[in-house]
Structure 1
Amino acid sequence: MGRIKKKGTSGAAKNYITRTRAVKKLQISLPDFRRLCIFKGIYPREPRNKKKVSKGSTAATTFYYTKDIAYLLHEPLLNKFREHKSVAKKIGRALGRGEVGDAARLEKTHMPKIKLDLIIKERYPTFIDALRDLDDALSMLFLFANLPSTEHVPPKTIALCQRLCLEFQHYVIVSHSLRKSFLSIKGIYYQATIQGQDILWLVPYRFVQRTGGDIDFRIMGTFVEFYTTLLGFVNFRLYTSVGLVYPPKFNAKSDEDGGELGAFQLEGKGVNSNGELVTNGDAPKTIASAEAQAEADKVATMADTEEADTSMALVQTEEEENTEAIDTFEPTARDADILPQPQASSAEAASLFAPFTFYLSRETPKAPLEFILKAFGCKRVGWDSILGDGAFTTNESDSTITHQIVDRPTLPNSSLPEVPDAPAEVEGETPKAQWPRSTMPGRTYVQPQWVWDCVNQGKLLRPDLYSPGAELPPHLSPWAKPKKGEYDPNVPLEQQALEGEAEAFEDEEGDSAEDAELVDASPAVKGKNKNIDAIVDRESSIEAGEGMDVADTDSDSDEEDEDEEDEQAQEDEFDGFGSEEESDVSEGEAERRQHQRELEAEAAGITLDPVVPTKQSKNAEIRKKAEKKRRQEEEERERQKMMLPRRKRKLLKRIEYGTDKRDKEAEALRKKRRRIEKATAAANVV
């Protein structure tokens, strides 16, 4: 007979440990335990059976892996925490005795400093691992960079986050790594592709932030401490990979004047005097000594003309290869799946806004526009001096400006305040333009959304659609791609509507208009139909897909219900055949009567006027054909379903339920869009 095992010594009870036991085992306080777990990347775990792990207890408990806690026992940071605790006790005793000088000396000389270098190297063995985990780090640091300084968020932390974020933005600008951006309610989303890794982060809008009292800034501060160390290492590696000096030169005076990106000056072999990243052939020669310079000149003079021609041919070939567009994948069949298209290269991103000079009006968000425009090739961005330092030009009347971004509607001259008469223009002097009173000839005025939509679509869009005061097109997320059968606001209704849907909408709108006229004409009928109108409003307010869901069970009762539903479906199909035959007979009867009338008129010597089909009759004919076609397709589908086994038929039923729900939602959105377009057209006519 084997030995009887003691309960709770093996299995799940041994693999998990509660947080209280873990804190006692490590002999540290709970805040230090949380901080250590955040640094090491150890998170709570949810066991499959809590009752077994907690030995029958059902209380809410936090569990960790036992191996993770045993791994923390040998962590060097534990000694740092204990040293910090002992020095804090000495400082407290010194302050209690009134020895302020001793307390300051202890805090300055004996307080241990925690370094996370080894932890960063341990958690991210390769640089690609660090890039994959950069999404949350960037979102957290950009959030803290926009927070106001409080007792929980010191100014040093905010300044550090701002510096690291601006350094990362400079690399994205220089390398042209930015691919997409989206304006959402939460903030502005950016996506950059760095060394093959897609990095997505969120930047909040620059509103006045009010931090609530229910936020634990100690835990968030621990994450910020770890993320600042991580982003510092990543920025160093990114800068050195393109030949830049890290950290870049920082101009404190320009930063105080609101320079932000302009407060940093990049240096390195891969950057020219304008701060632009160049190739090896165009890179400036930075030779350290005079001897090296002389040796380089000697080697350069030894090159013959043939080598020069060969090198020029190679450079030309590389330029031709770089200018080639990326291949696109086109579907072979009409109903085939749409393949994901390759993204634009850095060369295409660098040339999108390269030939233009932009000027930002005072009401536009300067920081995101400057970042996006420079990341996509624009080297000349100007703004008003009140927005900060670092502008290409602060003169709104500069003749080199090709595009001006404004975010104010055009106002009539009568609503603007009066200004004194301007002096007569001197010959040769450039005209001055002050929006919205006057505009510069040859300059394009657009709203900020034009920049984001051009970036997401990878091409320059029509600026007249984004002119000041114009109704802007929908700004859609570049990551949410509509699937087959879903509503796509970018596609015209004629291309995605079902056959006969437009005609049915016209008939429905016509009937509703006639009903409204009848109700307005007779107050008595209006009073009687008050309850009916309420019911109609309730039916129209029901969202697509609202109602009962299909149960997901495999019991015998469900199978019986399914058999009954199949029988009912067959009966419905038979009713459909009858209705189709009746409709065919009615059409034949109408033709026979028309032919009879023609014979009678011919016998009487009367000429009948040709029957001109009305629009309503045409719509009815189109709807009949569409319904007949859909009915035939449904019958064919039902015949195919009868050949399937019961389990597969049930699975197909669930799939069809989801498909019908999606189609109803798409139809409701298309109907709503038709109403809006009809109302807009009527308003334009008036």
Structure 2
Amino acid sequence: MGRIKKKGTSGAAKNYITRTRAVKKLQISLPDFRRLCIFKGIYPREPRNKKKVSKGSTAATTFYYTKDIQYLLHEPLLNKFREHKTVAKKIGRALGRGEVGDAARLEKTHIPKIKLDHIIKERYPTFVDALRDLDDALSMVFLFANLPSTQHVPSKTIALCQRLSHEFEHYLIVSHSLRKSFLSIKGIYYQATIQGQDILWLVPYRFVQRTGGDIDFRIMGTFVEFYTTLLGFVNFRLYTSIGLVYPPKFNAKSDELGGELGAFQLEGKGISTNGEPATNSDASTVITSAEAQAEADKVANLVDPEEDKEASTAAALVQVDEEGNTETIDTFEATAQDADILPQPQASSAEIASLFAPFTFYLSRETPRAPLEFILKAFGCKRVGWDGILGDGAFTTNESDPAITHQLVDRPSLPNESLPEVPDAPATIDDGAAVPIAQWPRSTMPGRTYIQPQWVWDCINQGKLLRPDLYAPGAELPPHLSPWVKAKKGEYDPNLPLEQQELEGEAEAFEDEEEDAEFFGEETTTNGKDHVMDALVDREPSVEVGEGMDIAGSEDESDEEDEEEDAAAAAEEWDGIESDGESDVSDDEAARKQHQRELEAEATGTVIEPTAPTTRSKNAAIRKKAEKKRREEEEERERQKMMLSNKKRKLIKRIEHGTKKRDVESETLRKKRRKIEKVKAAADAL
């Protein structure tokens, strides 16, 4: 006879361990256990059968893999946690005895310092692995960089996050790795491509942050401690790959004056390509050593195959004439309304990187300086100025500088009568000629383009310079859409006109609905009281008060209403057959009446003058034709579904349910847009 196996010693019960048992096994406190799991990347697991794991119990319990806990037993940080606990006990005893000096000495000299370098190397064996996991790290670091200093968020942590985020932004500016950005309700999304890896992170707006009491900053602080270490490693590797000294020089005085990006000064190692000492201007072309150059060439060759394919396609589509002038890139347009959307060729990354290189921008006081400065410099702009009140580091603080080509404003142009009076500033003299002074919105500078900030984001997302007149101050801006969401066939697209995306007969149906709404609206407003009074007067005397009215809580009437709704739903299912019959009867009746009128006119000798069809009759004919076509397509689909199995039929039913839901949403959006366009047309006509 075989040995009887004891319950809970093998299988799922052995593969999982509860959190309480794990804490006892590691001999640390629960906060230290959570901190250690965050550092090591170990998370709770959900077993398939909780009864087998917890020996028949169904209580809510947190489980971990037993192998993960065994892995934590050999972690060097466990000794650090125990040493910290021992020193904390000594500090507590010293404070209890009133020995404040001894407590301060113990805290300064005996508190163990925790380093996470070995954990970074364990979790990310290659640099590409670290880049793939950089999304959450950047979002958390940028979040803490914009938080106010509180007792839960120390100022040292905020300063560290600000320094690391600015260093990463400087790398994106030098390497031109930024690709797209989007303004959302949560904040500003950025996407960069580094060594073929797409990195997407979120930066909150610089509003006054009000942190609630339900936020566990201890857990978030643990993540920030790990992410700052990771980002420090990544920044060092990125800087050295392009020949820059890390960390860059930091000007504390400029940072106190609000310099931010301008407080960092980049330096290159070795000599430049022309044989002179490297400077900040040619830091991106520095040659450091043979080993570093080989690493840089290796990084440069790591290009996304899709991006390389798009670049080669775009280069092939650029046509060159006999004189050597290049034309614009070809675009592919659909030949039919229901045709698939063809992928359009895009400009190369080198052209997009120098999108704003020829321009000099000036940021008005009401515009967000930090994101605009970062985006403009990341796409080639070398000269960005702003008002001195926004901080240090501007190319120019003079709004009347003639070198400025574009000025970003976020205020509408108001008449001078509505503006408060200010003393006129004296005009500056340059070589005996008075230089005009521009002060928006009182006056503008000739030859300067005034645009709203959204123009910058839309230009980089589309990879080209858009028309600035569409983004003029006070103008209604085009829709700002996410660059990562592509319009699918059948969905509403704000960039396309309604004629290209609406269904057949939809516009005519909307016109008829508007006419009916206007007609019945006027009738009810003018004769509403008369109809009510007529109904009361014409009521029979035998009818008691309240009779014929809906009574709340009547079960019989509710049952009857439910039956009527079911009958109506069943009738809608058979409307394909009945509607065809009704339409045929109505057509035959109309033809019969027309033939009768012709016979009467022939007998009396009169001539029937042809009447011009009205707009409503035309719309009715178009809608009728479109409905007939849709019914035929629906019948054809039903016939095809009859040949399928029950499983595939249910799958198609679920797909059609989602498609109908999407069509209803798109139709609702098109109706809203049609109403807005109608109101605008009426306003323009006035």
TM-score interval, normalised by the smaller of the two chains: 0.7 to 0.9
Cα deviations by residue, 1:141-163 (Å, 9 ceiling, x for unpaired): 11111111112211111111000
Q: Which amino acid aligns with 1:64?
A: Y
Once the two structures are superposed, what CA deviation does each residue of 1:535-594 show, in whole Å capped at 9, x if it has no partner? xxxxxxxxxxxxxxxxxxxxxxxxxxxxx9999899544324313422442453365356
Q: How does 1:350-361 map to 2 (within 5 A)?
A: 350-361=353-364
Q: TM-score, normalised to structure 1's length?
A: 0.84
1:617 paired residue number: 617
Q: Distance in 2 between matches of 1:529 and 1:260?
A: 76
Residue in 1 that maps onto 2:525? 520
Map Cα deviations across residues 350-394 of structure 1 (whole Å, 9 max, x no partner): 121111111000011100010111111111110001101111110
Preserved contact between residue 427 and residue 435 of structure 2 (Cα < 8 Å): no
Aligned to 1:656: 656
Deviations 1:197-250 (CA, angstroms, capped at 9, x unpaired):
111111111111122222222111111110010000000111111111111111
Say which SS state the counterpart of residue 434 (structure 2) adopts: coil
**Counterpart Cα distance in 2 of 1:354 and 1:648:** 56
SS of match in other structure, 2:115: coil
Q: Over residues 294-337 of structure 1, what are the superposed CA-to-partner deviations in whole Å (9 max), with x where a residue is unaligned?
A: xxxxxxxxxxxxxxxxxxxxxxxxxx989937899969986565
For residues 397-426 of structure 1, give each alpha carbon's deviation from its aligned partner in whole angstroms, at most 9, with x where no partner exists.
Answer: 011111111111222211111233565786
After superposition, what is the alpha-carbon deviation per residue over 1:470-524, rounded to whole angstroms, capped at 9, x for unaligned? Answer: 1222222222223221111111110000001001100110111111222233242
Provide the aligned length of Structure 1 versus Structure 2. Answer: 615
Corresponding residue of 1:191? 191
Superposition misfits of 4+ residues, deviation over 6 angstroms: 285-288, 320-323, 325-329, 339-343, 564-570
Answering whether residue 43 of structure 2 is matched by residue 38 of structure 1, we say no
588-597 or 168-177, larger mean C-alpha shift:
588-597
Give the structure 2 partner of residue 642 of structure 1: 642
Match of 2:315 in 1: 324
Following the alignment from structure 1 to structure 2, what is the Cα–Cα distance between the partners of residues 32 and 646?
55
Aligned match of 2:257: 257
Q: Which residue matches 1:54?
A: 54
The residue type paired with residue 69 of structure 1 is I
User: Structure 2 CA distance, aligned partners of 1:434 and 1:205?
Assistant: 27
**Distance in structure 2 (CA, Å) of the matches to 1:424 and 1:23:** 75
Contact conserved, 1:175 with 1:277, CA < 8 A, in 2? no
Which of 410, 433, 445 matches 1:428? 433
CA contact (8 A) 2:152 2:217 kept: yes
SS at match of 1:7: coil
Q: Structure 2 vs 1, CA of residues 267 and 595 (structure 1 numbering), >3 Å: closer, same or farther? A: farther
Q: 1:58, CA displacement in angstroms? A: 2.1
Comparing 470-479 and 71-80, the one that deviates more: 470-479
CA shift in 2, pair 1:526/1:584, >3 Å:
closer
Distance 1:583-1:113 versus aligned 2 partners, 3 A rule? same
Partner of 1:505: 510
Q: Which moved more, 1:321-330 or 1:573-582?
A: 321-330
Is the Cα–Cα contact under 8 Å of residues 177 and 346 in structure 1 kept in the other structure? no
TM-score w.r.t. length of structure 2:
0.84
SS state at 2:433 partner: coil
**Matching residue within 435, 438, 442 for 2:447:** 442
Alpha-carbon distance in structure 1 between the residues aligned to 2:161 and 2:61 = 35
Q: What do residues 158-210 of structure 1 show as CA deviations (whole Å, max 9, x unaligned)?
A: 11100000000001111111111111111111111111111111111111112
- Structure 2 distance, partners of 1:100, 1:385, is 47
Corresponding residue number in structure 1 for 2:684: 684
2:402 aligned partner, one-letter code: S
CA distance in 2, matches of 1:127, 1:344: 29
CA deviation map 1:35-74 (0-9, x unaligned): 1111100011111111221112222211100000000001
Q: Distance in 1 between matches of 2:409 and 2:195?
A: 35
2:400–2:437 contact (8 Å) kept in structure 1: yes
Paired residues for 1:36-185 under 5 Å: 36-185=36-185
Correspondence for 1:238: 238
1:212 maps to 2:203: no
* Equivalent position SS for 1:139: helix
For residues 516 and 636 of structure 2, the distance between their equivalents in structure 1, rounded to whole angstroms, comes to: 33
**C-alpha distance in structure 1 between counterparts of 2:217 and 2:656, whole Å:** 49
CA distance in 1, matches of 2:343, 2:283: 30
Look up the equivalent residue of 2:619 and give its one-letter code. N
Deviation at 1:273, TM superposition (A): 4.3
* Inter-CA distance 425–570: structure 2 relative to 1 (3 Å threshold): closer
Rounded to whole Å, the distance in 2 between the matches of 1:189 and 1:252 is 29
CA distance in 2, matches of 1:595, 1:56: 89
1:269-668 → structure 2 map (5 Å cutoff): 273=279, 275=281, 278-279=284-285, 324=315, 338=341, 345-420=348-423, 428-525=433-530, 527=532, 572-586=575-589, 588-589=591-592, 592-593=595-596, 595-596=598-599, 599=602, 603-604=605-606, 609-668=609-668
Confirm or deny: 8 A CA contact 2:385 2:397 kept in the other structure.
yes
Aligned residue for 1:199, secondary structure, equals strand
Shift in Å, 1:105: 2.8
| Preserved contact between residue 131 and residue 199 of structure 1 (Cα < 8 Å) | yes
Structure 1's unaligned 5+ residue stretches are: 289-319, 531-563
Which amino acid in 2 is paired with 1:129?
D
Evaluate the alpha carbon distance shift between residue 249 and residue 423 of structure 1 in structure 2; reply closer, same or farther with a 3 A threshold: closer
Distance 2:260 2:154 in 1: 20
Contact 2:243–2:288 (8 Å) recurs in 1: no
CA distance in 2 between counterparts of 1:102 and 1:10 reads 52
Distance, in Å, in 2 between the alignment partners of 1:53 and 1:452 is 53
1:263-295 CA deviation, whole Å, 9 max, x = no partner? 11111157974546655xxx5x8899xxxxxxx
Contact 2:249/2:265, CA 8 A, preserved across alignment: yes
Contact map agreement 2:124 2:130 (CA 8 A) in 1: yes
CA distance in 1: counterparts of 2:667 and 2:639, whole angstroms: 27
Contact between 2:576 and 2:631, CA under 8 Å: does it hold in 1? Answer: no
Deviation at 1:644, TM superposition (A): 2.2
Separation in structure 1 between the aligned mates of residue 369 and residue 126 of structure 2, nearest angstrom: 36
Q: Distance in 2 between matches of 1:369 and 1:570?
A: 56
Q: Which runs of 5+ in 2 are unaligned?
A: 291-310, 318-328, 536-566
Letter in 1 for 2:383: R
CA–CA distance in structure 2, aligned partners of residues 151 and 124 of structure 1: 33
Over 3 Å counting, the alpha-carbon distance change for 1:376 and 1:587 in structure 2 is farther
Q: Amino acid of the residue matched to residue 684 of structure 1?
A: D
SS in structure 2 of the partner of residue 488 of structure 1: coil
Q: 1:678, 1:590 → 2: CA distance?
A: 38
Contact 1:360–1:404 (Cα < 8 Å) also in 2: yes
Equivalent residue number for residue 12 of structure 1: 12
Distance 2:314 2:265 in 1: 29
Task: Answer with 321-330 or 672-681: which moved more.
Answer: 321-330
Cα gap change, 1:35/1:345 in structure 2, threshold over 3 Å: closer, same or farther?
A: farther
**The residue matched to 2:435 in structure 1 has which SS?**
coil
